[in-house]
């Protein structure tokens, strides 16, 4: 599904990723944990193709294709989805309109017919019901006036509607209470399938009680420092990141 | 071009200006000519013209429109649809073949100024030049001297005009640069209600200079909505000076959507003259290329218990430039005044420029007033957010521009006009790619 080879990336001239290697097979859920400033969010932005995050070395191979030259919208159309740590508010654009545009843009790109309004609304209703979301949240402007939990649920709704093959969740657990965490995790778990993979980026082990990973990686100082099973997360929770802190992350 | 040559051009043309033979009007014209002769065209040396220079008037010699310059064939003129009456002017001349005022309700007069000067000179004398009085506005003085036809809207006491009336002013399509000077007079009597939509459009090639003056009297308890779309050509110089007086418990709402014109200046002087008067004075501007758009306003909260709200938002691309100068003045005894002013501009290019000057001048001590201005670029995080959901960059940019302008357009209280104006915004956007469908539900 995804193969990251010796990935180097800079932001505003500063090298943040210094040779990341990672392989995610179809159907797998991987977690990336690490201290603040280790490059976790940078990795998620680089994978999603954000401007200003420059790949200076290495490759990102997704389904056999090098992604590094593709625009964010092309990556989205190919099935990559990034759930934002801080979802953006867009006043004046109704959530349902935004979702409709996104779904049809992706369908157009893939050469599929666009959904008409009735088809779209039917699909959307089903998804919101699964996620226990109110129709009212669809009418409101994108993320405007949403609580922290509602914003994250809205991210999961977008994910459910776009049905990505590779979901990247950037600190989706931050700012969530236990109930919201459970709803969000259920949404992610509902998408688990043999042909779909997830990369869960988190600072805390808590989320991994709900989204159980196949593999856990520790990212620090711009590199994967250690890889293990889900027990590695528990170990980190107990001992902290002190073992991985280099001179830069002190 | 010198200030005087406008007037000489007018005299040389030796044509009958509207109201020929009316003594009081001749005096007014003479006084205007004298004043303009003394003032000359405004220059950036004047505080209120610091950011706008009437440069196109230096480059061309504009001749006042002669008969025949308004005869060109024009098609596909804009409209908001179902209206109570419609007047079309081409280069300042009424085009009866394109106008329709056959179905006006009782108590409503809507026609060209020259007709009213002929039919009811006493009424015209009692109203023309009453609200628009200012000693040092050169452009108003020039209009006083040269005033062409323009339109009159007069709604009698208590009459409620359910459908809007519409004016279309077309410029261009001449071999030589032309100038015209519409004079408009709007009188909404006590407790009457009316909505006016004005479209300014440029057609064909040919430079033109429109110098309009509009007087608006919104009497006690009346409601008047004044909506303008300025979609002039890249050869147009558009100057408009509006004076409005708002009476006790009356409401004056204005929205100026500027989407085109080489150089435009919309200047408004509004007096909230009666207690309980309210003014919503709003607009949006979208400029590209080397267009220049100036919105200047002065709102005088002259008596206690008045309210005004001003929201102007704009988007500038390429080397376009906009000017916002707004002043709210609260008189000494105008207690409990509530005045709000906001100007926000989005710069889509490094070469675009906004000069913004929001001002409050408060002499009363028990008021609620606020003003603010911001300038920024498209939010890169928001752009990435939309693109990461598969939305192509061009559409994502347009969505963000629409989102930005949306809350200015939300100030338009007429839902149908708001929809038509949003559609104009959308058609300004690059590649016309936009949100189909559900936009209007956002309000």
Please tell me whether residue B117 adopts helix, strand or coil conformation: helix
> What does the pLDDT look like over B373-416, one tens digit per residue?
999 999 999 999 999 999 999 999 999 999 999 889 999 999 99
Residue A11 touches partner B, C-beta closer than 8 Å:
no
Q: Specify the DSSP element, H or E, that contains B30.
A: helix B23-39
Query: d(Cα A86, Cα B382) in Å, to the nearest integer?
Result: 11
Distance from CA of A146 to the nearest CA of B (A): 16
- Three-class SS of residue B397? helix
Mean of per-residue pLDDT scores for chain A: 90
pLDDT at position A131 is: 80
* A73/B393 Cα distance (integer angstroms): 8
What phi and psi values does residue A112 have, to the nearest 5 degrees?
Answer: -95, 160
Is residue B34 pLDDT above 50, yes or no? yes
Burial class (CB in 10 A: 0-12, 13-18, 19+), A134: exposed
Q: A105, B390: Cβ pair inside 8 Å?
A: yes
Q: What does the block give as tokens for B155? A: 């709604």
Chain B residues near residue A103 by CB distance under 8 angstroms: 390
* Contact: B442, A92; criterion CB under 8 Å: yes
Which one has a higher pLDDT value, B64 or A56? A56
Instruction: Pick the residue from chain B with its C-alpha nearest to A162.
Output: B389
Q: How far is CA B39 from CA B136, B141, B142, in A?
A: 8, 9, 10
Mutate to test the interface with A, among B315, B390, B435 (most CBs of A within 10 A): B390
Whether B91 shows a pLDDT value over 70: the answer reads yes
- Contact check, Cβ <8 Å, A117/B441: no
pLDDT at B14: 47
Q: B432 falls in which pLDDT band (50, 70, 90)?
A: low
At B439, the pLDDT band (50, 70, 90 cuts) reads very low
- A51 touches B at CB < 8 Å: yes
| Pairwise CA distance, residues A230 & B273, whole Å | 74
Secondary structure element (H or E) that encloses residue B119, with its range? helix B113-119
- In this model, does residue A80 exceed pLDDT 60? yes
Q: What's the CA gap between B69 and B63, in Å, rounded?
A: 11
Task: Classify domain A2-244 by CATH number.
Answer: 3.40.50.300
For A44-59, write each residue's pLDDT tens digit.
999 999 999 999 999 9
User: What does the alpha-carbon distance between residue B162 and residue A130 come to, in Å, rounded to a whole number?
Assistant: 47
Domain ranges of chain A: 2-244
pLDDT at res. B6: 60
Q: Please state the separation of Cα B395 from the chain's center in Å.
A: 30
Residue B11: pLDDT above 60?
no
Q: How far is CA B236 from CA B137, B200, B209, in A?
A: 21, 10, 6
What integer is the mean pLDDT of A185-207? 89
Task: Give the angle subtended at the CA of B25 by the CAs of B19 and B30, to the nearest 5°.
Answer: 120
Q: Return the pLDDT at B173.
A: 85
Q: Rounded mean pLDDT of chain B?
A: 91
What pLDDT, on the 0 to 100 scale, is given for residue B70?
A: 67
- Measured CB to CB, residues of chain B less than 8 Å from chain A are 379-382, 384-393, 395-396, 399-400, 402-404, 406-407, 435, 437-439, 441-442
Separation CA B320–CA B348 (nearest Å): 10
- Which of B388, B392, B441 lies closest to A94 in CB terms? B441
Instruction: Yes or no: say if A26 and A196 are a contact pair by the CB < 8 Å rule.
Output: yes
Residues of B in contact with A139 (CB under 8 A): 441
pLDDT reading at B1 higher than 50: no
**Does residue B107 or residue A97 have the better pLDDT?**
B107
A146 touching chain B per CB within 8 A? no
Q: What is the Cα–Cα distance from A249 to A233, expressed in whole angstroms?
A: 19
What does the pLDDT read at residue B8?
57
pLDDT for residue A247: 47
Share of chain B above pLDDT 90, in %: 79
pLDDT tens for each residue of A146-156: 988 889 889 99
Q: For chain A, what percent of residues have pLDDT higher than 70? A: 98
Q: Residue A5 has what DSSP assignment?
A: E
Q: Which carries the bigger pLDDT value, residue A78 or residue B175? A: A78
ipTM comes to: 0.95
Task: State whether B390 and A98 contact (CB < 8 Å).
Answer: no
Give residue B438's pLDDT band: very low, low, confident or very high (50, 70, 90).
Answer: very low
pLDDT, tens only, B291-321: 999 999 999 999 999 999 999 999 999 999 9
**Residue A200 corresponds to which tokens in the numbers above?**
């869960």
**Could you tell me if B189 and B218 are in contact, meaning their C-beta atoms sit under 8 angstroms apart?**
no
Asked if B388 and A96 come within 8 Å (Cβ–Cβ), the reply is: no
Number of neighbours of residue B282 by Cβ within 10 angstroms: 22
Most B CBs within 10 A among A93, A124, A156, hence the mutation to make, goes to A93
């Amino acid at each position: 599904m995804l193969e990251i080879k010796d990935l180097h990336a800079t932001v505003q001239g500063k090298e943040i990723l210094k040779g990341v290697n990672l392989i995610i097979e179809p159907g797998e859920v991987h977690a990336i944990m690490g201290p603040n400033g280790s490059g976790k969010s940078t990795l998620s932005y680089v994978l999603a193709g954000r401007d200003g995050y420059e790949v200076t070395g290495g490759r990102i191979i997704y389904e056999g294709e090098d992604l590094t030259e593709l625009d964010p919208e092309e990556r989205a159309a190919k099935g990559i989805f990034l759930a934002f740590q801080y979802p953006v508010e867009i006043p004046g654009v109704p959530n349902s309109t935004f979702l409709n545009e996104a779904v049809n843009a992706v369908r157009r790109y893939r050469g599929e017919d666009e959904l008409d309004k009735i088809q779209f609304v039917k699909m959307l209703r089903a998804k919101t019901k699964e996620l226990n979301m109110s129709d009212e949240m669809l009418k409101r402007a994108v993320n405007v006036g949403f609580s922290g939990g509602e914003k994250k649920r809205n991210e999961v709704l977008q994910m459910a509607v776009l049905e990505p093959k590779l979901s990247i969740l950037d600190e989706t657990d931050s700012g969530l209470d236990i109930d919201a965490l459970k709803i969000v995790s259920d949404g992610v778990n509902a998408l688990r399938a043999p042909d779909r993979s997830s990369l869960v980026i988190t600072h805390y082990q808590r989320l991994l009680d709900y989204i159980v990973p196949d593999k856990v990686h520790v990212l620090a100082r711009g590199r994967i420092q250690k890889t293990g099973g889900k027990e590695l997360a528990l170990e980190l929770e107990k001992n902290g990141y002190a073992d991985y802190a280099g001179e830069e992350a002190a | 071009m010198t200030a005087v040559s406008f007037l000489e051009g007018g005299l040389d043309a030796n044509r009958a200006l509207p109201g020929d033979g009316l003594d009081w009007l001749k005096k007014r014209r003479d006084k205007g000519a004298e004043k303009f002769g003394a003032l000359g065209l405004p220059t950036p040396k004047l505080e209120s013209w610091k950011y706008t220079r009437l440069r196109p008037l230096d480059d061309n010699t504009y001749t006042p429109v002669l008969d025949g310059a308004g005869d060109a064939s024009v098609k596909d003129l804009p409209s908001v649809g179902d209206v109570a009456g419609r007047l079309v002017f081409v280069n300042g001349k009424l085009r009866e073949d394109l106008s329709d005022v056959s179905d006006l309700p009782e108590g409503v007069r809507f026609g060209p100024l020259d007709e009213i000067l002929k039919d009811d000179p006493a009424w015209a004398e009692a109203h023309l030049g009453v609200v628009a009085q200012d000693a040092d506005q050169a452009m108003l003085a020039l209009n006083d001297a040269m005033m062409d036809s323009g339109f009159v809207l007069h709604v009698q006491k208590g009459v409620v005009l359910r459908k809007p009336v519409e004016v279309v002013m077309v410029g261009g399509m001449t071999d030589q640069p032309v100038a015209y000077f519409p004079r408009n007079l709007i009188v909404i009597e006590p407790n009457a209600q009316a909505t006016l939509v004005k479209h300014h459009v440029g057609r064909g090639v040919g430079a033109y200079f429109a110098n309009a003056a509009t007087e608006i009297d919104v009497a006690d308890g009346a409601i008047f909505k004044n909506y303008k779309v300025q979609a002039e050509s890249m050869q147009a110089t558009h100057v408009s000076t509006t004076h409005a007086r708002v009476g006790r418990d009356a409401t004056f709402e204005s929205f100026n959507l500027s989407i085109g014109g080489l150089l435009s200046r919309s200047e408004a002087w509004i007096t909230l003259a009666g207690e309980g008067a309210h003014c919503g004075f709003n607009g949006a501007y979208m400029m590209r290329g080397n267009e220049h758009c100036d919105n200047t306003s002065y709102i005088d909260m002259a008596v206690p218990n008045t309210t005004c709200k001003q929201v102007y938002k704009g988007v500038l691309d390429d080397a376009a430039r906009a000017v916002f100068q707004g002043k709210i003045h609260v008189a000494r005894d105008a207690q409990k005044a509530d005045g709000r002013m906001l100007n926000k501009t989005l710069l889509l290019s490094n070469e675009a420029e906004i000069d913004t000057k929001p001002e409050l001048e408060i002499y009363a001590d028990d008021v609620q007033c606020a003003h603010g201005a911001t300038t920024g670029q498209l939010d890169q995080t928001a752009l990435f957010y939309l693109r990461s959901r598969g939305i192509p960059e061009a559409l994502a940019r347009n969505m963000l521009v629409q989102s930005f302008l949306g809350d200015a357009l939300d100030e338009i209280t007429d839902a149908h006009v708001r929809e038509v104006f949003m559609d104009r915004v959308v058609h300004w956007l690059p590649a016309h790619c936009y949100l189909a469908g559900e936009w209007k539900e956002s309000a």
